[in-house]
């Protein structure tokens, strides 16, 4: 069994050493508790469990702590993909829910599995998800000071490999901040979150760059076609470099290999296999 999570990018210019340490500790806590959950649950159930915990932690830009868009409203996106069934579900620009990933989970068995905007929010209300403000004082301060998104780019995600060798991936984001309302991130698309029987990938970074180069889909497809995980990552990130793209990705393949890579070496991540813990420096 293997597990890897990410919490977006860490900006040395805008975050303190104390914040960096706090993120490390949070990732360690979340991945160890999620690994214990994985012992008795499927990869699919575990990625939802892990991402919900990341959404609940205001240190990360997803769920509580999400960025505020240019009109002063928080809109979030999240998705899940199960490598066994190869089904994908997600919500795009959903408002005022505590855990967007849980709404994506509720959509998973439905015929219409990706909902956006008012439709996503209405579905949440109709299915018992109460109104919940995910705004924190820090995000309001950033909004009022008009800090730009590149300083706080982030998303959260998880890829799990369970005892049966099944793989799943989940990703959630609070956006980049100050974006035009209606902007679509990569997090609820297969460019940013993808899994099949061969590999699962969750991405973070600039959504437009990730979508332009179909990062998650390309990595998984290349591994499915026989390329090893490291070369699949390096080829995909070489293509990302051609457009000066900003992204990071985490993955686990069907052999249990865990890998991560970023175009700017500051991605916040942690991996755990029950004995060895690895975290960003």
Angle between helical axes of 117-126 and 100-107 (0-180°, round to 10): 80
- 196-205, 227-236, 258-267: segment of lowest average pLDDT: 258-267
Angle between helical axes of 215-224 and 229-241 (0-180°, round to 10): 150
- Mean pLDDT confidence for 87-98: 98
Which has the closest alpha carbon to 216: 233, 197, 241, 228? 233
Q: Strand pairing partners for 250?
A: 202, 260
Answer whether 158's CB lies under 8 Å from 180's CB. Answer: no
Full-model pTM: 0.94
What integer pLDDT is reported at residue 150 of this predicted model?
44
Element (H, E) at 190: none
Measure the CA–CA gap between 186 and 144, rounded to whole angstroms: 26
Choosing among 3.40.50.360, 3.60.20.30, 2.60.120.10, 1.10.150.120, the CATH entry for 2-279 is 3.60.20.30
Measure the CA–CA gap between 173 and 210, rounded to whole angstroms: 14
What residues have CB less than 8 Å from 65, skipping those under 6 apart? 57, 58, 59, 134, 136, 138, 139, 174
Answer whether 261's CB lies under 8 Å from 9's CB. Answer: no
193 vs 17, more confident:
193
- Mean pLDDT confidence for 33-38: 98
What integer pLDDT is reported at residue 178 of this predicted model?
86
Q: How confident is the model at residue 13 (pLDDT cuts 50, 70, 90)?
A: very low
Is the pLDDT assigned to residue 188 strictly greater than 90?
A: yes
Strands 156-161 and 167-173: antiparallel
Is the pLDDT assigned to residue 43 strictly greater than 80?
A: yes
Known catalytic membership, residue 155? yes
Percent of the chain with pLDDT over 90: 85
Beta strands in 36-83 (DSSP E): 76-82
Measure the CA–CA gap between 153 and 145, rounded to whole angstroms: 16
Q: How confident is the model at residue 280 (pLDDT cuts 50, 70, 90)?
A: confident
Tell me the pLDDT of the chain averaged across its residues: 93
Place of tokens 């090893």: 228
Q: How confident is the model at residue 143 (pLDDT cuts 50, 70, 90)?
A: confident
Q: Strand pairing partners for 247?
A: 205
Cα torsion 151, 136, 269, 206: sign: negative
Question: Among the options 46, 134, 155, 190, which is catalytic?
Answer: 155
- Mean pLDDT confidence for 230-237: 98
Answer whether 91's CB lies under 8 Å from 116's CB. Answer: yes
Answer whether 158's CB lies under 8 Å from 271's CB. Answer: no
Beta strands in 47-112 (DSSP E): 76-82, 88-94
What integer pLDDT is reported at residue 212 of this predicted model?
97
Using CA atoms, how far residue 130 sits from 37, 125, 251, in Å, is 26, 6, 33
What residues have CB less than 8 Å from 82, skipping those under 6 apart? 43, 44, 108, 166, 168, 195
Residues belonging to the chain: 281
């Amino acid at each position: 069994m293997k597990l890897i999570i990410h919490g977006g990018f860490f900006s040395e210019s805008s975050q303190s050493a104390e914040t960096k340490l706090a993120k490390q500790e949070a990732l360690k806590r979340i991945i160890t508790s999620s690994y214990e959950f994985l012992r008795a649950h499927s990869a699919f159930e575990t990625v939802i469990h892990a991402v919900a915990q990341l959404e609940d932690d205001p240190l990360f830009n997803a769920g509580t702590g999400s960025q505020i868009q240019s009109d002063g409203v928080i809109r979030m996106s999240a998705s899940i993909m199960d490598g066994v069934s190869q089904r994908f579900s997600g919500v795009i620009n959903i408002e005022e829910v505590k855990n967007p990933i849980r709404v994506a989970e509720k959509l998973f068995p439905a015929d219409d599995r990706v909902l956006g905007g008012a439709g996503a929010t209405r579905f949440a209300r109709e299915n018992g998800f109460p109104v919940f403000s995910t705004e924190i004082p820090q995000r309001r301060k950033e909004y009022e000071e008009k800090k730009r998104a590149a300083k706080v780019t982030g998303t959260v995600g998880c890829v799990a490999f369970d005892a049966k060798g099944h793989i799943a991936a989940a990703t959630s984001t609070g956006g980049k901040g100050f974006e035009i309302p209606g902007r679509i991130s990569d997090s609820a698309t297969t460019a940013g979150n993808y899994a099949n029987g061969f590999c699962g990938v969750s991405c973070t970074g600039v959504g437009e760059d990730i979508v332009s180069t179909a990062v998650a889909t390309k990595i998984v497809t290349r591994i499915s076609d026989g390329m090893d995980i490291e070369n699949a990552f390096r080829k995909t990130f070489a293509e990302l470099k051609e457009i000066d793209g900003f992204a990071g990705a985490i993955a686990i393949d069907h052999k249990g290999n865990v890998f991560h890579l970023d175009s700017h070496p500051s991605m916040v991540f942690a991996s755990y296999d029950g004995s060895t813990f690895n975290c960003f420096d």
